[in-house]
Each structure stands twice: as C-alpha cells, then as structure tokens.
Amino acid sequence: MKSRSFPVVELPEIAASSGENATDEIDRKLLSPNSLNLEAFTVRLAWAFASTICLLIVLSILLVVAGYAGSTLP
C-alpha cells in the first residue's frame, strides 16, 4: 500500500490561535474590576427590587387581614 501525503493547510491553526487570543482578551475584559463592580451593583439592585416587592406583598396582606378583622369587630 502506498502512503499518501496530504497538504497541510495552516489557516485553521492561525484562526484558532487568533480565536484563543480574542477569547483571552474577552475574559480579561469580563474579569476586570469595573465589570465586577457593575455585576455586584446589578445583583444588589435585583435583591433590593425583589425585597421591596416582597415587603409590599406582606404589607398588603397585613392590611387586608387587619381590615377584615376590624370590620368583624362589634
């Protein structure tokens, strides 16, 4: 059996190495202190919003219960 030699194409290798560099650069940008501060701010804002909604729901339920209890008293 004859062995064949296949031509080597170097473009995918170059593209892969430049893709890795682009990925590393994106990772560095995502892990920069500014983006971490922004992410922490977003999480705090989401918690504050969720807490406010939960507090309003609890207060509404208490007002409805108090109103019902007040209307049934003689």
CB of 35 within 8 A of CB of 29?
A: yes
41-68 pLDDT, tens digit per residue, is: 889 999 999 999 999 999 999 999 998 8
2 pLDDT more than 80: no
Average pLDDT for residues 8-25, to the nearest whole number?
56
Whole-prediction pTM: 0.50
Quote the percentage of the chain above a pLDDT of 90.
32
What residues contact 68, with CB distance under 8 A and at least 6 apart? none
Does the structure show a pLDDT above 70 at 29? no
Residue position matching structure tokens 């296949």: 6
What are the residue ranges spanned by the domains of the chain? Answer: 44-69
How many residues in total does the chain contain? 74
- Looking at residue 50, what is its pLDDT? 97
